Amino acid sequence: MMSLPPLQHARRPGTRRRVGTALAAATALLLGACAHTPDSRFFTLSGSTPDNAGAAPGATVDGTALPMATPLLIEVLPVNIPGQVSRPQIVSTTGAGDVKLEEYNRWASPLADEIGGALSQSLTRSLGAIDSYRTPHPAGSTVYRITVNVQRFESVPGERATIDAVWSVVRSSDALTLTCRSTASEPVAPGYDNLAAGHRKALARIAADIAQGVRTEQGVMPPPPAVPVPMPAKPSATGGRKKAHAQADGASAAPVTPAAPPVPVLPCPLRSSPAP
């Protein structure tokens, strides 16, 4: 009986070479795609600004107010911003009503926190104050509560950085309130680092307005506490009026609390050089 030779698989010439070439090409494409993906950049609104906006009288060269024996207490409450810009990416304006999400240019933290932190930093430096938000403070101490509502936060790369905000300062001791509006616009050079620097300058201008509002309220004396004034008893009737009746008339006179003085209307701060 004849034995057959073992079967051998036929191989096409160059198959391995073609497979290797395809794998090399795919790898090259993958590496090329990774190499062209830009790195994300992160920007912050905190940090010093070149000018001394909002520096307190008698402040040091870097704008820090001199320490006070009794520290001034402020509370910078969480900032409200438009939902359009409440996102990690920088939202830039490229035309009339046209916006663009800068996927690879982002804020280092939520934008509302960035704005609140920058305002707190500027105010504590210029006023020599302590931001006591979420921190216990001595009973009976006066705290200036600051609320900021950003109505417009506009970023136009290579052109301007604009912030429009309504803010209020409320004195805790007597609820004295000052409500104002500040708009700051800064020209910027091309580049997102310059855009972030422009927003820092705009926030420094708004912080200077708020600091002036706090100083204005500090200059207003709080009203004196209301002290009840007893009413004099009615004179006793002449001609046979009973003594008990006279005493009853005198006892019925209740003390009268004087009317509170009118709340002063405080002016909003005016800038020496208004923003464009």
97 or 108: which leads in pLDDT: 108
In a domain, 257, yes or no: no
- Supply the range of the domain harboring residue 205: 73-218
Residue 127, Cβ neighbours under 10 Å: how many? 27
Average pLDDT taken over every residue of the chain: 80
Q: Is the pLDDT of residue 274 over 60?
A: no
In a domain, 262, yes or no: no
Residue 110's pLDDT is what? 97
Q: Is the pLDDT of residue 125 over 90?
A: yes
Instruction: Tell how far CA 66 is from the center of its chain.
Output: 24
In a domain, 201, yes or no: yes
Residue 61's pLDDT is what? 45
In a domain, 276, yes or no: no
Question: What is the number of structural domains in the chain?
Answer: 1
Share of the chain above pLDDT 90, in %: 53
Transcribe 211-267 into DSSP letters. Answer: HHHHHHHHTSPPPPPP--BPPPPPPPPSSS--HHHHHHHHHT---BPPPPPPPP-PP
In a domain, 19, yes or no: no
Q: Residue 63: what are its φ and ψ, rounded to 5°?
A: 90, 0
Question: For 167-201, how does the pLDDT look when each residue is reduced to its tens digit (9 = 90+)?
Answer: 999 999 999 999 999 999 999 999 999 999 999 99
In a domain, 177, yes or no: yes
In a domain, 136, yes or no: yes
In a domain, 232, yes or no: no
CATH code of the domain containing 154: 3.40.50.10610
Which region holds residue 106: left if phi is over 0, alpha if psi is between -120 and 50, else beta?
Answer: beta
Query: Which range, 139-143, 154-158, 236-240, has the best average confidence (pLDDT)?
Result: 154-158
Q: Is the pLDDT of residue 37 over 50?
A: yes
Q: Is the pLDDT of residue 237 over 60?
A: no
Q: Is the pLDDT of residue 228 over 60?
A: yes
